[in-house]
Structure 1
Amino acid sequence: MASTRSTTLLAAPALALATLLLAGACGNSTNENAVTTDGPASEAATSADRISLADDFTTGSTRPVWEFPLSVDGWTLTVIDQDGVNQLSRAGGLFTSFQLDQGTQGGDDEGNSRAYLDTYYSAQQNSPGVESVSAADPTTTTLPSDRGDLEFLSQEVQYTTTNGTTYHSRMLVRSLDTNVLVLQYAAPEDEWSEAEWEKLTADVRVQLG
Protein backbone atom coordinates (compact mmCIF):
# COMPACT_ATOMS: atom_id res chain seq x y z
CA MET A 1 0.00 0.00 0.00
CA ALA A 2 1.19 3.51 -0.69
CA SER A 3 2.01 5.20 2.59
CA THR A 4 4.67 7.18 4.39
CA ARG A 5 6.68 4.86 6.56
CA SER A 6 8.15 6.05 9.81
CA THR A 7 11.67 4.98 10.72
CA THR A 8 10.95 5.59 14.41
CA LEU A 9 9.94 2.22 15.77
CA LEU A 10 9.47 3.15 19.43
CA ALA A 11 9.30 6.27 21.54
CA ALA A 12 9.95 5.07 25.10
CA PRO A 13 13.16 3.10 25.81
CA ALA A 14 11.63 0.82 28.45
CA LEU A 15 8.67 0.01 26.24
CA ALA A 16 10.98 -0.36 23.28
CA LEU A 17 12.79 -3.06 25.19
CA ALA A 18 9.55 -4.89 25.90
CA THR A 19 8.29 -4.66 22.34
CA LEU A 20 11.55 -5.70 20.75
CA LEU A 21 11.72 -8.64 23.13
CA LEU A 22 8.31 -9.66 21.86
CA ALA A 23 9.26 -9.42 18.22
CA GLY A 24 12.52 -11.27 18.77
CA ALA A 25 11.08 -14.00 20.92
CA CYS A 26 7.97 -14.72 18.94
CA GLY A 27 9.36 -15.39 15.49
CA ASN A 28 9.87 -13.63 12.18
CA SER A 29 7.54 -10.84 11.19
CA THR A 30 5.62 -11.21 7.97
CA ASN A 31 5.78 -8.95 4.94
CA GLU A 32 2.02 -9.08 4.49
CA ASN A 33 0.62 -5.55 4.70
CA ALA A 34 -1.99 -4.76 7.30
CA VAL A 35 -5.04 -2.81 6.27
CA THR A 36 -5.01 0.62 7.86
CA THR A 37 -7.94 2.94 8.16
CA ASP A 38 -8.55 6.52 9.26
CA GLY A 39 -12.29 5.95 9.65
CA PRO A 40 -14.66 3.30 10.96
CA ALA A 41 -13.38 -0.21 10.36
CA SER A 42 -15.06 -2.46 7.84
CA GLU A 43 -18.05 -4.40 9.05
CA ALA A 44 -17.27 -7.72 10.68
CA ALA A 45 -19.36 -10.78 9.97
CA THR A 46 -22.91 -10.20 11.11
CA SER A 47 -23.56 -13.82 12.02
CA ALA A 48 -23.12 -15.27 15.49
CA ASP A 49 -20.02 -17.15 14.33
CA ARG A 50 -17.23 -17.42 16.88
CA ILE A 51 -13.83 -18.83 16.00
CA SER A 52 -12.64 -20.24 19.29
CA LEU A 53 -9.10 -21.13 20.28
CA ALA A 54 -10.15 -24.78 20.13
CA ASP A 55 -11.06 -24.51 16.45
CA ASP A 56 -7.45 -24.73 15.19
CA PHE A 57 -8.14 -22.41 12.27
CA THR A 58 -6.50 -23.22 8.91
CA THR A 59 -5.37 -20.16 6.97
CA GLY A 60 -4.25 -21.84 3.73
CA SER A 61 -2.50 -19.44 1.36
CA THR A 62 -4.13 -16.31 2.85
CA ARG A 63 -2.35 -14.77 5.79
CA PRO A 64 -4.45 -13.16 8.52
CA VAL A 65 -3.86 -9.41 8.82
CA TRP A 66 -4.82 -6.65 11.22
CA GLU A 67 -7.10 -3.82 10.26
CA PHE A 68 -5.36 -1.11 12.28
CA PRO A 69 -6.47 2.50 12.86
CA LEU A 70 -4.43 5.28 11.28
CA SER A 71 -5.84 7.89 13.63
CA VAL A 72 -6.86 7.74 17.30
CA ASP A 73 -7.45 10.93 19.24
CA GLY A 74 -4.40 11.82 21.35
CA TRP A 75 -2.14 9.25 19.70
CA THR A 76 0.45 9.49 16.89
CA LEU A 77 0.96 6.87 14.20
CA THR A 78 4.69 6.09 14.38
CA VAL A 79 4.93 2.78 12.51
CA ILE A 80 2.89 1.58 9.55
CA ASP A 81 3.41 -1.80 7.87
CA GLN A 82 7.05 -2.17 8.90
CA ASP A 83 7.89 -5.87 8.88
CA GLY A 84 4.46 -6.81 10.14
CA VAL A 85 4.31 -4.07 12.79
CA ASN A 86 1.91 -1.13 13.19
CA GLN A 87 2.14 1.22 16.14
CA LEU A 88 0.54 4.24 17.76
CA SER A 89 2.34 6.14 20.52
CA ARG A 90 1.81 8.92 23.01
CA ALA A 91 3.91 10.11 25.95
CA GLY A 92 4.95 6.87 27.65
CA GLY A 93 2.42 4.59 25.99
CA LEU A 94 2.47 2.31 22.96
CA PHE A 95 -0.27 0.46 21.11
CA THR A 96 1.19 -2.13 18.73
CA SER A 97 -0.01 -4.85 16.41
CA PHE A 98 2.22 -7.66 15.17
CA GLN A 99 1.77 -10.16 12.33
CA LEU A 100 4.34 -12.89 12.79
CA ASP A 101 5.39 -16.20 11.30
CA GLN A 102 4.89 -18.71 14.06
CA GLY A 103 7.96 -20.72 13.24
CA THR A 104 6.25 -23.94 14.27
CA GLN A 105 3.67 -26.22 12.75
CA GLY A 106 0.03 -25.21 13.23
CA GLY A 107 -2.78 -27.33 14.58
CA ASP A 108 -2.85 -26.21 18.23
CA ASP A 109 -4.07 -22.63 18.30
CA GLU A 110 -4.65 -22.50 22.06
CA GLY A 111 -1.38 -24.22 23.01
CA ASN A 112 0.69 -22.13 20.61
CA SER A 113 -1.00 -18.91 21.77
CA ARG A 114 -0.21 -19.75 25.38
CA ALA A 115 3.37 -20.59 24.43
CA TYR A 116 3.81 -17.08 23.00
CA LEU A 117 2.60 -15.50 26.23
CA ASP A 118 4.99 -17.72 28.19
CA THR A 119 7.86 -16.82 25.87
CA TYR A 120 7.23 -13.09 26.30
CA TYR A 121 7.04 -13.43 30.08
CA SER A 122 10.28 -15.41 30.15
CA ALA A 123 12.00 -12.83 27.94
CA GLN A 124 10.93 -10.08 30.31
CA GLN A 125 12.22 -12.01 33.32
CA ASN A 126 15.61 -12.41 31.66
CA SER A 127 15.93 -8.87 30.38
CA PRO A 128 18.73 -6.83 32.00
CA GLY A 129 16.51 -3.72 31.82
CA VAL A 130 13.70 -5.28 33.87
CA GLU A 131 13.99 -5.56 37.62
CA SER A 132 10.79 -7.51 38.32
CA VAL A 133 7.81 -8.85 36.39
CA SER A 134 4.48 -10.41 37.32
CA ALA A 135 1.66 -11.74 35.18
CA ALA A 136 -1.97 -12.65 35.77
CA ASP A 137 -3.37 -15.92 34.50
CA PRO A 138 -4.46 -15.62 30.85
CA THR A 139 -8.12 -15.10 30.08
CA THR A 140 -10.00 -15.17 26.78
CA THR A 141 -11.51 -12.32 24.82
CA THR A 142 -12.68 -11.72 21.27
CA LEU A 143 -12.09 -9.21 18.51
CA PRO A 144 -14.25 -8.93 15.40
CA SER A 145 -13.08 -10.41 12.09
CA ASP A 146 -14.52 -10.80 8.62
CA ARG A 147 -15.61 -14.33 9.61
CA GLY A 148 -17.04 -13.64 13.05
CA ASP A 149 -15.67 -13.05 16.53
CA LEU A 150 -12.09 -14.31 16.81
CA GLU A 151 -11.04 -15.60 20.22
CA PHE A 152 -7.69 -14.51 21.70
CA LEU A 153 -5.77 -15.27 24.85
CA SER A 154 -5.32 -12.08 26.87
CA GLN A 155 -2.82 -11.45 29.66
CA GLU A 156 -2.08 -8.55 32.00
CA VAL A 157 1.60 -8.07 32.84
CA GLN A 158 3.26 -5.62 35.21
CA TYR A 159 6.98 -5.05 34.98
CA THR A 160 9.32 -2.65 36.76
CA THR A 161 12.42 -1.42 34.97
CA THR A 162 15.79 -0.79 36.56
CA ASN A 163 15.01 2.95 36.66
CA GLY A 164 12.07 2.24 38.98
CA THR A 165 9.18 2.79 36.55
CA THR A 166 6.38 0.21 36.62
CA TYR A 167 4.56 -0.54 33.37
CA HIS A 168 1.26 -2.27 32.70
CA SER A 169 0.89 -4.32 29.53
CA ARG A 170 -2.19 -5.98 28.08
CA MET A 171 -1.31 -8.48 25.39
CA LEU A 172 -3.70 -10.38 23.14
CA VAL A 173 -2.30 -13.36 21.23
CA ARG A 174 -3.89 -15.66 18.69
CA SER A 175 -2.09 -18.43 16.85
CA LEU A 176 -3.67 -19.11 13.46
CA ASP A 177 -2.18 -22.12 11.74
CA THR A 178 1.47 -21.13 11.10
CA ASN A 179 0.82 -17.43 11.82
CA VAL A 180 0.34 -15.48 15.01
CA LEU A 181 -1.38 -12.16 15.67
CA VAL A 182 -0.39 -10.06 18.68
CA LEU A 183 -1.95 -6.84 19.99
CA GLN A 184 -0.36 -4.99 22.90
CA TYR A 185 -1.13 -1.82 24.85
CA ALA A 186 1.59 -0.86 27.31
CA ALA A 187 2.06 2.29 29.37
CA PRO A 188 3.34 3.41 32.78
CA GLU A 189 1.02 1.92 35.37
CA ASP A 190 -0.38 5.29 36.48
CA GLU A 191 -1.20 6.24 32.86
CA TRP A 192 -2.71 2.94 31.67
CA SER A 193 -6.52 2.97 31.48
CA GLU A 194 -9.34 0.68 30.41
CA ALA A 195 -11.04 3.63 28.71
CA GLU A 196 -7.95 4.16 26.56
CA TRP A 197 -7.90 0.47 25.62
CA GLU A 198 -11.53 0.69 24.52
CA LYS A 199 -10.74 3.76 22.41
CA LEU A 200 -7.69 2.16 20.82
CA THR A 201 -9.44 -1.07 19.91
CA ALA A 202 -12.73 0.43 18.74
CA ASP A 203 -11.81 0.13 15.06
CA VAL A 204 -9.46 -2.86 15.25
CA ARG A 205 -10.48 -5.87 13.17
CA VAL A 206 -8.85 -9.01 11.80
CA GLN A 207 -9.08 -9.98 8.15
CA LEU A 208 -8.93 -13.73 7.72
CA GLY A 209 -9.72 -13.73 4.00
Structure 2
Amino acid sequence: MKELINSNDDYANYAVAAAPETGRHGENMRANMPSVIIEAGFHTSASDAVALQDPVFRTASMKGVEKGYRLYREGKDCIPLKAAPIDGIRLPQGGSEQVDVTFEGYPQYPIELVTTNVGCPPGWTCTDGRVRIEAPDAKPSRITLRCENAGSAPILWDTRVVDADGVKSPAVRHVVQCIRTARDPVAPSLTPGWGAAATAG
Protein backbone atom coordinates (compact mmCIF):
# COMPACT_ATOMS: atom_id res chain seq x y z
CA MET A 1 0.00 0.00 0.00
CA LYS A 2 2.86 2.38 0.79
CA GLU A 3 4.37 1.83 -2.64
CA LEU A 4 1.07 2.37 -4.48
CA ILE A 5 -0.15 5.33 -2.40
CA ASN A 6 3.15 7.21 -2.35
CA SER A 7 3.60 6.79 -6.12
CA ASN A 8 0.79 9.31 -6.62
CA ASP A 9 2.15 12.86 -6.52
CA ASP A 10 -0.78 14.07 -4.38
CA TYR A 11 0.01 11.45 -1.74
CA ALA A 12 3.80 11.20 -2.05
CA ASN A 13 4.20 12.13 1.63
CA TYR A 14 1.18 10.27 2.98
CA ALA A 15 2.28 8.31 6.05
CA VAL A 16 1.98 4.55 5.65
CA ALA A 17 3.51 2.17 8.18
CA ALA A 18 6.66 0.55 6.79
CA ALA A 19 6.01 -2.70 8.69
CA PRO A 20 2.98 -4.37 10.33
CA GLU A 21 2.31 -3.94 14.04
CA THR A 22 1.68 -6.90 16.28
CA GLY A 23 -1.43 -6.61 18.43
CA ARG A 24 -3.77 -8.81 20.46
CA HIS A 25 -6.79 -8.63 18.19
CA GLY A 26 -9.38 -11.39 18.19
CA GLU A 27 -9.53 -11.35 14.40
CA ASN A 28 -5.92 -12.49 14.35
CA MET A 29 -5.54 -14.46 17.57
CA ARG A 30 -8.54 -16.71 16.89
CA ALA A 31 -7.96 -17.10 13.15
CA ASN A 32 -7.23 -20.57 11.76
CA MET A 33 -5.07 -19.17 8.96
CA PRO A 34 -2.57 -16.34 8.46
CA SER A 35 -4.47 -13.09 8.95
CA VAL A 36 -3.91 -9.37 9.00
CA ILE A 37 -6.02 -6.29 9.69
CA ILE A 38 -5.55 -3.75 6.91
CA GLU A 39 -6.26 -0.09 7.62
CA ALA A 40 -5.69 2.96 5.45
CA GLY A 41 -6.61 6.20 7.16
CA PHE A 42 -9.21 7.07 9.78
CA HIS A 43 -12.33 9.18 9.39
CA THR A 44 -11.51 10.83 12.73
CA SER A 45 -8.49 12.50 11.07
CA ALA A 46 -9.49 15.49 8.94
CA SER A 47 -6.78 14.92 6.30
CA ASP A 48 -7.44 11.16 6.21
CA ALA A 49 -11.16 11.79 5.81
CA VAL A 50 -10.49 13.91 2.72
CA ALA A 51 -8.19 11.24 1.26
CA LEU A 52 -10.73 8.48 1.92
CA GLN A 53 -13.26 10.35 -0.21
CA ASP A 54 -10.80 10.58 -3.13
CA PRO A 55 -11.24 7.73 -5.65
CA VAL A 56 -7.56 8.06 -6.60
CA PHE A 57 -6.51 7.36 -3.01
CA ARG A 58 -9.02 4.53 -2.60
CA THR A 59 -7.90 2.89 -5.85
CA ALA A 60 -4.21 3.10 -4.91
CA SER A 61 -4.95 1.67 -1.46
CA MET A 62 -6.88 -1.30 -2.80
CA LYS A 63 -4.34 -1.98 -5.53
CA GLY A 64 -1.79 -2.13 -2.72
CA VAL A 65 -3.93 -4.65 -0.84
CA GLU A 66 -4.29 -6.75 -4.01
CA LYS A 67 -0.55 -6.68 -4.60
CA GLY A 68 0.14 -7.70 -1.02
CA TYR A 69 -2.19 -10.69 -1.29
CA ARG A 70 -0.74 -11.66 -4.67
CA LEU A 71 2.88 -11.52 -3.54
CA TYR A 72 2.06 -13.46 -0.37
CA ARG A 73 0.30 -16.15 -2.42
CA GLU A 74 3.30 -16.37 -4.77
CA GLY A 75 5.77 -16.56 -1.87
CA LYS A 76 7.43 -13.25 -2.76
CA ASP A 77 8.61 -10.51 -0.43
CA CYS A 78 7.40 -6.93 -0.69
CA ILE A 79 10.38 -5.40 -2.53
CA PRO A 80 9.96 -1.78 -3.69
CA LEU A 81 10.44 -1.13 -7.40
CA LYS A 82 13.99 0.11 -7.92
CA ALA A 83 16.13 0.46 -11.05
CA ALA A 84 19.81 -0.47 -10.89
CA PRO A 85 22.51 2.10 -11.76
CA ILE A 86 23.11 2.62 -15.49
CA ASP A 87 26.72 2.98 -16.61
CA GLY A 88 27.68 5.98 -18.69
CA ILE A 89 28.50 5.37 -22.34
CA ARG A 90 30.51 7.13 -25.08
CA LEU A 91 29.08 7.39 -28.60
CA PRO A 92 30.42 8.84 -31.85
CA GLN A 93 28.40 11.24 -33.96
CA GLY A 94 25.42 9.33 -35.40
CA GLY A 95 26.05 6.37 -33.10
CA SER A 96 23.54 4.48 -30.97
CA GLU A 97 23.66 1.79 -28.33
CA GLN A 98 21.10 -0.32 -26.50
CA VAL A 99 21.46 -0.19 -22.72
CA ASP A 100 19.97 -2.70 -20.29
CA VAL A 101 17.67 -1.35 -17.58
CA THR A 102 17.65 -3.89 -14.77
CA PHE A 103 15.44 -3.50 -11.74
CA GLU A 104 14.18 -5.27 -8.64
CA GLY A 105 10.63 -5.50 -7.37
CA TYR A 106 7.43 -6.92 -8.80
CA PRO A 107 5.82 -4.39 -11.13
CA GLN A 108 2.40 -4.89 -12.67
CA TYR A 109 2.77 -5.32 -16.43
CA PRO A 110 2.79 -3.72 -18.91
CA ILE A 111 5.63 -1.46 -17.77
CA GLU A 112 7.34 1.52 -19.36
CA LEU A 113 10.99 2.52 -19.25
CA VAL A 114 10.76 6.31 -19.18
CA THR A 115 13.90 8.30 -20.07
CA THR A 116 13.84 12.06 -19.44
CA ASN A 117 16.53 14.54 -20.41
CA VAL A 118 17.91 16.57 -17.51
CA GLY A 119 20.97 18.11 -19.18
CA CYS A 120 21.02 19.09 -22.86
CA PRO A 121 23.86 21.19 -24.34
CA PRO A 122 22.83 24.59 -25.74
CA GLY A 123 21.57 24.35 -29.30
CA TRP A 124 21.01 20.59 -29.15
CA THR A 125 17.67 18.81 -29.29
CA CYS A 126 17.38 16.08 -26.64
CA THR A 127 14.21 14.03 -26.96
CA ASP A 128 12.70 12.04 -24.09
CA GLY A 129 11.86 8.39 -24.72
CA ARG A 130 9.50 5.62 -23.63
CA VAL A 131 9.83 1.88 -24.14
CA ARG A 132 6.74 -0.25 -23.43
CA ILE A 133 7.17 -3.85 -22.31
CA GLU A 134 4.01 -5.94 -22.26
CA ALA A 135 5.14 -8.89 -20.11
CA PRO A 136 8.18 -10.05 -18.11
CA ASP A 137 9.38 -12.25 -20.97
CA ALA A 138 8.18 -10.03 -23.83
CA LYS A 139 11.59 -8.53 -24.65
CA PRO A 140 14.75 -7.37 -22.86
CA SER A 141 14.36 -4.28 -20.68
CA ARG A 142 16.45 -1.93 -22.81
CA ILE A 143 16.53 1.66 -23.95
CA THR A 144 18.31 2.96 -27.05
CA LEU A 145 20.57 5.97 -26.57
CA ARG A 146 21.76 8.00 -29.56
CA CYS A 147 24.10 10.82 -30.50
CA GLU A 148 22.83 12.70 -33.54
CA ASN A 149 25.00 15.78 -33.18
CA ALA A 150 27.88 17.74 -34.60
CA GLY A 151 30.15 18.08 -31.61
CA SER A 152 31.38 16.68 -28.30
CA ALA A 153 29.42 17.10 -25.08
CA PRO A 154 27.83 15.08 -22.29
CA ILE A 155 24.06 14.58 -22.21
CA LEU A 156 22.39 13.75 -18.89
CA TRP A 157 19.36 11.48 -18.60
CA ASP A 158 17.07 10.18 -15.86
CA THR A 159 15.50 6.77 -16.41
CA ARG A 160 12.80 5.15 -14.29
CA VAL A 161 10.47 2.15 -14.46
CA VAL A 162 6.72 2.88 -14.37
CA ASP A 163 4.25 0.02 -14.04
CA ALA A 164 0.59 -0.36 -15.01
CA ASP A 165 -0.55 0.59 -11.50
CA GLY A 166 1.38 3.88 -11.63
CA VAL A 167 4.23 2.73 -9.39
CA LYS A 168 7.39 4.65 -10.29
CA SER A 169 10.92 3.63 -9.39
CA PRO A 170 13.27 6.40 -8.25
CA ALA A 171 15.00 7.98 -11.25
CA VAL A 172 18.48 6.74 -12.15
CA ARG A 173 20.85 9.43 -13.50
CA HIS A 174 23.20 8.42 -16.33
CA VAL A 175 25.30 10.15 -18.98
CA VAL A 176 25.94 9.79 -22.69
CA GLN A 177 29.21 11.36 -23.81
CA CYS A 178 28.87 12.32 -27.47
CA ILE A 179 32.19 12.40 -29.35
CA ARG A 180 32.90 14.54 -32.43
CA THR A 181 34.06 12.37 -35.31
CA ALA A 182 37.11 13.13 -37.47
CA ARG A 183 34.94 13.94 -40.48
CA ASP A 184 33.10 16.64 -38.51
CA PRO A 185 34.68 19.98 -39.53
CA VAL A 186 33.10 21.78 -36.59
CA ALA A 187 35.41 22.19 -33.64
CA PRO A 188 34.07 21.05 -30.26
CA SER A 189 32.03 23.82 -28.76
CA LEU A 190 28.77 24.33 -26.94
CA THR A 191 27.81 27.24 -29.18
CA PRO A 192 24.06 27.13 -29.99
CA GLY A 193 22.96 26.67 -33.57
CA TRP A 194 24.50 23.35 -34.58
CA GLY A 195 21.11 21.82 -35.34
CA ALA A 196 22.25 18.71 -33.49
CA ALA A 197 20.10 16.17 -31.71
CA ALA A 198 20.38 13.46 -29.10
CA THR A 199 17.49 11.11 -28.50
CA ALA A 200 16.62 8.34 -26.08
CA GLY A 201 13.93 5.73 -26.39
Q: State the TM-score bracket (shorter-chain normalisation).
A: under 0.3
TM-score, with length taken from structure 1: 0.24
Q: Which has the higher contact order (CA 8 A, sep 6+)?
A: 1
TM-score, with length taken from structure 2: 0.24
* The structure with more radius of gyration: 2
Q: Which has the higher strand share?
A: 1
